[in-house]
Amino acid sequence: MKKVAILTSGGDAPGMNNAVIAVINSAFSNDMIPYVVYGGFKGLVEGEIKKVEPSDLKAIKQNISRGGTFIYSARLPEFKEEKVREIAVKNLKEKEIEALVVIGGDGSYMGAAKLTKMGIKTIGLPGTIDNDIASSDYTIGYFTALQSITNAIEQIRDTAESHNRCIVVEVMGRYCGDLAINAAIATGVEVLSVPEKYLEEEEIISQVKLRREKHNDRSIIVLVTEHQYDVAKLAKKIEATTGIESRSSVLGHLQRGGVPVSMDRVYASRMGNYAIKLLKEGKYSLAVGIIKEKLVSFDILKAVEMKNPSREGLIQIYKESK
Ligand code: F6P
């Protein structure tokens, strides 16, 4: 009987738990023995690997509606070093574990691909709020984070409207604007700057002025993806240049926690189940995704190199509908 381990790696994301539960349950259903690795690749190197017993299943199921990852996560840049990975491989082989399902972003996919070359059969599942993995239309955690951002912007809107203010809001996404663009459409954000359509400071300021002077807006939300601006400084500059009272808010890690919404749970469960099906068929070194509602898989190294489709159409929808 095949032994398969699962780990979550990189930034946690709501729905990761559902993927883990699906992998564990599908492994049992397909006569495999599941193991969990606590704490991502770091835990793998430190030997934090535990066999899942059927008697654990009831307690594990409690995590079906919880955010975060109950098998914990970590970032381990040292995993790039071969000697570090050799320890991980030794730990798996000692327990005769042949296969490993890795849930994480593209850094985690790289780690998984390298383990495959060292004799471990790996499958990657896209787990990150950023939606920046091109081999899947949606990543696990994205829908929940988008909802959290939508809620947060609406709350910020209430106070901005009451005080006749401009508020600059920074959201996560790394170098992908999906969270910001879709939150902007969902909440009618007035000014948007994302990696796919970056606005210079002067352009942001002139759009803020226009919203106040031409559209007579009381509340003006400027939404930017992280790594673009120091939003506190930007708000001060807007206030100094336009005379519109301005504030800033970095949403930070509140976007990453919380009860997973149904779509994240369902996609995560489907992909977790598919990972086991692929292993059962003897397939590995693959990144699983969902494209146009269908389960798909790509060579994991090719998946890392794939580019996200253009977001121009979506940005145009935002512009025309605000
Ligand atoms: O990749 C998920 C993510 O939340 C990014 O949006 C963000 O840039 C990063 O992780 C933050 O990571 P950390 O919690 O390690 O600071």
Report the separation in Å between the CA atom of 202 and the middle of ligand 1, taken as the mean of its atom positions. 28
Ligand 1 pocket mutation, candidates 130, 139, 225, criterion most atoms within 8 A of CB: 130
Q: Which residues line ligand 1 (CB under 6 A)?
A: 11, 75, 105, 128-130, 172-174, 226, 256
What is the band of 124 on the pLDDT scale with cuts at 50, 70, 90? Answer: very high
Question: Which residues are bridge partners to 34 per DSSP?
Answer: 4
Average pLDDT over residues 10-18: 98
Name the percent of the chain lying above pLDDT 90: 99
Question: Distance (Å, rounded) from C-alpha 259 to C-alpha 273?
Answer: 21
Q: State the catalytic residue, choosing from 12, 106, 130, 178.
A: 130
Query: How far is 120 from 293, CA to CA, in rounded Å?
Result: 29
From CA 313, how far away is CA 15, in angstroms rounded?
A: 28
Average pLDDT, stretch 264-285? 98
Residue type, 162: S
Dihedral, CA of residue 84, residue 87, residue 93 and residue 98, to nearest 10: -20
| Alpha-carbon separation of residue 57 from 21, 22, 46, 278 (angstroms) | 9, 11, 24, 23
Average the pLDDT over 301-309 and give the result: 94
167-221 tens-digit pLDDT: 999 999 999 999 999 999 999 999 999 999 999 999 999 999 999 999 999 999 9
Q: Would you tell me how many other CB atoms lie within 10 Å of the CB of residue 223?
A: 27
Residue partners of 54: CB distance under 8 A and separation at least 6: 28
Tokens of 46: 């430190």
Q: Ligand 1, residue 105: give the atom nearest the CA.
A: 1
Q: Which of 174, 226, 251 to mutate for ligand 1's pocket (most ligand atoms within 8 Å of CB)?
A: 174
Per-residue pLDDT tens over the stretch 74-91: 999 999 999 999 999 999
Query: Is 130 a catalytic site residue?
Result: yes
Q: Which helix (DSSP H) or strand (DSSP E) does residue 77 occupy?
A: none
- As a whole number, mean pLDDT of residues 280-297 equals 97
Tell the residue nearest (CA) to atom 12 of ligand 1: 11
pLDDT at position 1 over 80: no
Please tell me the residue having the least CA distance from ligand 1 atom 11: 11
Task: Give the sign of the dihedral formed by CA 24, CA 140, CA 107, CA 253.
Answer: negative
Question: Which atom of ligand 1 is nearest the CA belonging to 227?
Answer: 8
Mean pLDDT of 129-151: 98
For residue 322, the model assigns a pLDDT of 86
Residue located nearest, by CA, to atom 1 of ligand 1: 11
Q: How far is the CA of 181 from the centre of ligand 1 (A)?
A: 18
Q: What percentage of residues in the chain have a pLDDT greater than 70?
A: 100
Contacts of 47 (CB under 8 A, 6+ apart): 91
Ligand 1 geometric centre to CA of 199 (Å): 22
User: Does the structure show a pLDDT above 80 at 43?
Assistant: yes
Please work out, in degrees rounded to the nearest 5, the angle formed at the alpha carbon of residue 92 by the alpha carbons of 90 and 93: 65
pLDDT band at 135 (very low <50, low <70, confident <90, very high): very high
